[in-house]
Amino acid sequence: MNENQYLVIMAGGIGSRFWPMSRTSYPKQFLDVLGLGRTLIQQTYDRFKEIVSPENVFVVANEKYKSLIWDQLPEIPLVNILSEPSGRNTAPCMAYAGFHINQLNPAAQIIVAPSDHLITDPQEFTRCINIALKACKKQDIFMTLGIKPSRPDTGYGYIQLTRKNSEQQEDFYKVKTFTEKPSYEIAVSFLESGDFVWNSGIFISSLKTLLEGIRTHLPDMYELFAENKNFFATPKEQEKIKDIYSRCKNISIDYGVMERASNVFVISSDFGWSDLGTWSSLYTHMEKKENENAIIGKVYTYDSNRNLIRFNDNKLIVVEGLDDFIVVDTPDVLLICRKSSEQKIKEIVADIKKFEGEDYI
C-alpha cells in the first residue's frame, strides 16, 4: 500500500431530506439506512481499505460529531478527525484537510469522498480509483469519477465530457462543463447527447495540485489558511481553525475550483453509485418484498404497492391500501408522505422547526 495515498472523508452534512431518521444530532452518514449492519460512513471507510492505510484516513466534520466518528471508525487515529467549528461547504473543508496533511506529508496524493454515498460494485470502484491515482501521479491534474446516467435525474450535478481524440487519455476525458441540478428537459437532452455523466463528488489529485488550485481560484481563502500553515497538526490548530472559518467564504469545491480550472479530467464509470439523497433513491436500492414494497421492520401489507416502510422497534405494523408512500417511524416522529411529494420534506422540516422548535430536528 502506497504510504503517500491519503483519504479525506467529508462528513459534515445533516441529511435533512432523510428526516425523521436523519437528525442534526445524528445525521444520515452515521445511520445504517439500508439495514446492512454498517453505517454509510463505515461503508465509505470499508471501500478504501485496499487503497489507503488507516493512519492515512482523515474525516472532516462538525466538532459535535467527533465522538460519533470515533465510535464508528475506531480504526483511524483520533487526531485524524478534523473538527470544523461550523459548516462552510466543501472548499474550506478540502482546504483544511489539505493544509493539515501538507504538514505531515507534502508528497501526498489525496482522494476526497463524501461520507454518505452508496457503491454496489466495490471492485470496479477500486479499479477506477487506481486509474485516477496513477494519472494524478504522472500529471498536474484533478480527476473526478463520473457516473454513466441511467435516467434524466434533476437532483444530480452533470459533467460534460470533451470527446476530442487529442484530449482523451486512456480511460478518461477532459471536462468541458459542470451543470448543477438541471431542469428535466435539459437533463433529457444531456442523456440524448451521450456526452454527460453524473458528478459523483469524488475528487483525486496530488496535494500540490489541490493547494495550487485553491491558491489560483480562491486566493482569499488560500491566504487565510496559508498564513496559519505552521499551526496545522499542532495543539493550536483548533484555535486557528475557528478564526479561519469565521472569515472563510461559504463555497463548494465545484463552484470555487473545479468549474474554473482547466486541468480537470473525468473517468466515465459505472460502479453502482447513488448519493442516497432522498428516500426514493434509497427505495431503489432496498430489497423488495411482495408487491414491490421495501420494508424494514415487522410489517404486514395488504393491497399496498411500491411503498418504503421502515420501523425499527418491536411494534407490529399493518398497512392496507397504500401505494407509492414513504412511511418512516422513529421514537418521536412518524412520517407518512407520498414518494412524489418527498421534495416537500425540507419544507416540512423548516415548518416543524418554526412551530415546534429544535426537539424534532
Which tens digits make up the pLDDT trace of 230-270?
999 999 999 999 999 999 999 999 999 999 999 999 999 99
Distance, in Å, from the CA atom of 201 to the CA atom of 254, rounded to the nearest integer, reads 8
Cα–Cα dist 137/140, whole Å: 8
Q: Percent of the chain, pLDDT > 70?
A: 98
Q: What is the mean pLDDT of residues 312-319?
A: 87
Give CATH for domain 5-274: 3.90.550.10
What is the average pLDDT value for the chain, to the nearest integer? Answer: 93
pLDDT in tens, 67-90: 999 999 999 999 999 999 998 999
Instruction: State the greatest distance between any 2 C-alpha atoms of the chain, in Å, as a whole number.
Output: 65
Per-residue pLDDT band at 99 (split at 50, 70, 90): very high
pLDDT-derived band at 210 (thresholds 50, 70, 90) equals: very high
How far does the chain reach from its first CA to its final CA, in angstroms? 42
The pTM assigned to this predicted structure is 0.92
Assess whether pLDDT exceeds 60 at residue 166. no
Classified as helix, coil or strand, 273 is: strand
Render pLDDT for 104-147 as a digit per residue (tens, 0 to 9).
999 999 999 999 999 999 999 999 999 999 999 999 999 999 99
Burial of 269 (0-12, 13-18, 19+ CB in 10 A): buried
pLDDT band at 41 (very low <50, low <70, confident <90, very high): very high
**Residue bearing the bigger pLDDT, 221 or 313:** 221
Query: d(Cα 295, Cα 33) in Å, to the nearest integer?
Result: 12
Phi, psi of 205 (to 5 degrees): -165, 170
Q: What is the mean pLDDT of residues 33-60?
A: 95
Confidence tier at 33 by pLDDT (50, 70, 90)? confident
Q: Which residues contact residue 59 at a Cβ distance below 8 angstroms, ignoring those fewer than 6 apart?
A: 8, 9, 11, 41, 69, 73, 76, 80, 81, 82, 115
Band (pLDDT 50/70/90 cuts) for residue 215 is: very high
* Cβ 203 vs Cβ 144: under 8 Å: yes
Q: What is the pLDDT of residue 198?
A: 95
Does pLDDT of 164 surpass 90?
no
Please give the average per-residue pLDDT across 280-286, as a whole number: 89
pLDDT value, residue 170: 61
For the chain, what are the domain ranges?
5-274, 279-356
Average pLDDT of the residues in 341-345: 89
